[in-house]
Structure 1
Amino acid sequence: MDAVFNPIDFPSIATALDWEIHDLLPPDNFPYSDGTLVDKVVFSLSKPSDAEEVIMGMKDIGYFKKEKSLNDIFEHLYLTENMSEKRKVITELLEKLVSNNVLELNNGKYLA
């Protein structure tokens, strides 16, 4: 069935319910209304490889064409202050991407 809520609101809804975003998605192999199956892929920003895929996707769509602070990135990813593990993974990943010349760091702001 069609989503009742805009997916952009999922992080806020999940937070309000004390859930994870994947809890709002249908279970694996859930039949869609036309009989096809829904493929559910869950990314965790606690997992460095998943976080890297997300950050590289953000780079690919031009997110880093304008300078972004670490707080801008956390806000974009809906990483609140109580999500310290995920924030640490993102911070370490950004440092790695800067050292590998994938992103630049200028005055505390990231740029591609």
Structure 2
Amino acid sequence: QLRCLLRMVTLHGIPKDWDNYPKDLLLFLSPSAYAATGSCTQFFRNIGNANVDVLPRESPERKKLLLEALACLGIPGTQINEENAKVLGQLLCDLGGEYIRTSGGILLKHLS
């Protein structure tokens, strides 16, 4: 249903007021398509507030979102700072154990 709604909303291009739409719609929108209306950081901040469980945990779409978020935020390794943790929001749950080990308490605080 969300994919169908997204097709209807974007029929004539990406709306300028995209931030006013339900955040769950963003799960099906390409970050590059959103970039025309806002920053990638804002896009992933909105994704972090969406119900990412709409996408199955191991789905290619969800994995791609996490990889694109890490690239957008300029996170080259496995260390996540406080600000990036806030942006990633629900996507933090998809990070591997190496991120938890190197980021320590910052991630644990957000994952609890």
Q: What is the TM-score of this pair, normalised by structure 1? A: 0.37
Between structure 1 and structure 2, the one with the greater Rg is 1
Determine which structure has the larger strand proportion and give its number: 1
Determine which structure has the larger helix proportion and give its number: 2
Q: What is the TM-score of this pair, normalised by structure 2? A: 0.37
